[in-house]
Structure 1
Amino acid sequence: MFYSFELEQYLGELLPARNELLNEMESQSLKETIPVVTPPVGNFLALLIKMSKAEDILEIGTAIGYSTLWLAQDLEGRTGHITTIDLNIDRAKRAIEYFKRAGIEDRIDVLFGDARRIIPTLEKKFDFVFVDAAKGEYLDYLSLVLPRISPGGILVVDNVLFRGWVVPGEKFAPKYNRMVTHLREFLSKLTQNPDFQTSVLPFGDGISVSFRIK
């Protein structure tokens, strides 16, 4: 995290109390070092869904389903549906169990496999797309998902600032060169795309929010 843990913790403390299932998933992800969004980011996702009234939602990177449950919070009483994709079958299966416990398994399709191969097989367009998967593949995801976002739709991508290392002049271990370079290229292409209006927000590990211009 490129800004203080204390600040992120404070932002989390400002949120309303989370339900028992989300608390359990947070504890489990910390215990097993499973990468999931922070609670402030999860709350932001839920807020965007509520404000946009998105119905068809695509998530790339399910993990154990923590962010999916945030995305699903405003679906009750509406016809919304989530399609979520993950390469890690074991984690995705655990996510399905959490969805069952939350009583929303009928609103979520979990697809196992490489999103780069699965996305081209999806027939519909989406009102909301959330990407939180392999950072070195963000450029690939970008080219695949942009044509599938409906006019007026929203694209949110997590970890786009990657500990602040995307900032020119920042120092990091050489093993991260490729990933940081890809993220810089990704942000450049996304922010310069004339079909989308984009803002990059410096909380969590950095989030980009893009609106498809009608």
Structure 2
Amino acid sequence: MRPSAPSLGPRIESVLADLEARSGKEQQELEALRAAGGTALRERAGSFMLDVGPEVGLFLNTLVRVSGARTVVEVGGSVGYSTLWLAEAVRATGGRLYSIEVDKDKQDEQRANLIAAGLDAHVELTTCEAPELAESLPGPIDLVLLDHWKELYIRDFEACWPLLRPGGLIVADNVLVPQKNAEVIGRYRRHISGLSDAQSQMLAVGDGLEVTTKREDFPVD
């Protein structure tokens, strides 16, 4: 169920509602594949949204707005559910969203959903991976969402971290669910804990979020 929030406008709400209905239908099959273990889910990933859900979507939208983020990077856009929440927020801040989705079929759906919602002008879609995108960005990054293969979280965190402005945020999804990711997520969290300029907190929002901010330098009185 969608958490209580101000309306995002009829076009955006309509596309989100359609995607939420689709996601609901996919959950039972996803749970069966996760229970099966092995490579079953990875082999079928292209046919599922694997979206963040409305609670995380609203959280991300709010985070962009309250932080005033203008350069936002999404790693793992899928068919565009989280993209819509982020794009609506960067429209409000006067910013731009750079969204990575390496599956071309999913990106085609993502583009169609952005157009249907009237948000396509605020988003640059790409199939390149995070290290390549980071090198091409015009300025510092304000916020990053990691929501793709967990084995790549450290690599893509490291690609974005040097470009993240002081006070900027990196949000990693699925740090609590599914449990099969516990080992790789543990490595990700230990990696962050070893950084002197990082402050991080796990939040029980959706399937679990790790929210990491780059410490700002304050003068010592």
Q: State the TM-score bracket (shorter-chain normalisation).
A: 0.7 to 0.9
* SS of corresponding position for 2:207: coil
Aligned counterpart for 1:190 among listed residues 183, 189, 192:
192
> How many aligned residue pairs are there?
191
More displaced 10-residue stretch of structure 1: 58-67 or 147-156: 147-156
Identity, in percent, stands at 28
Aligned to 1:4: none
Shift of 1:38: 1.4
Task: Say which structure is richer in helix.
Answer: 2
Please tell me the residue identity of whatever aligns with 1:210.
T
Aligned to 1:202: 204
Post-superposition Cα deviations, 1:82-112, rounded to whole Å, max 9, x if no partner, equal: 0000111110111111111111211100001
Name the CA distance, whole Å, in 1 between partners of 2:92 and 2:148. 29
**Does the aligned pair in 2 maintain the 1:60–1:130 contact within 8 Å?**
yes
Matched, 1:22 2:37: no
Post-superposition Cα deviations, 1:25-52, rounded to whole Å, max 9, x if no partner, equal: 1122344542000111111101101110
Change over 3 Å in CA distance of 1:77–1:140 after alignment to 2: closer
More displaced 10-residue stretch of structure 1: 188-197 or 96-105: 188-197
Matched, 1:79 2:73: no
Aligned to 2:175: 160
TM-score by length of 2: 0.78
Aligned to 2:162: 147
Shift of 1:121: 4.1
Matched, 1:131 2:146: yes
Aligned to 1:168: none
TM-score by length of 1: 0.81
Aligned to 1:111: 126
* SS of corresponding position for 1:21: helix
Gaps of 5+ in 2: 27-47, 217-221
**Does the aligned pair in 1 maintain the 2:131–2:160 contact within 8 Å?**
no
**Does the aligned pair in 1 maintain the 2:90–2:97 contact within 8 Å?**
no
Shift of 1:120: 3.8
Aligned to 2:219: none
How does 1:32-111 map onto structure 2 within 5 Å? 33-111=48-126
Post-superposition Cα deviations, 1:147-196, rounded to whole Å, max 9, x if no partner, equal: 12111211111011233x3xxxxxxxxxx4xx532211101111332212
* SS of corresponding position for 1:162: coil
* SS of corresponding position for 1:43: helix
Post-superposition Cα deviations, 1:19-76, rounded to whole Å, max 9, x if no partner, equal: 2211111122344542000111111101101110101110000101110111122333
Shift of 1:123: 4.7
Shift of 1:145: 1.3
Shift of 1:79: 2.2
**Does the aligned pair in 2 maintain the 1:160–1:187 contact within 8 Å?**
no
Kindly indicate whether structure 1 or structure 2 has the higher relative contact order, using CA contacts under 8 Å at least 6 residues apart.
1
Shift of 1:14: 4.5
Change over 3 Å in CA distance of 1:136–1:77 after alignment to 2: closer
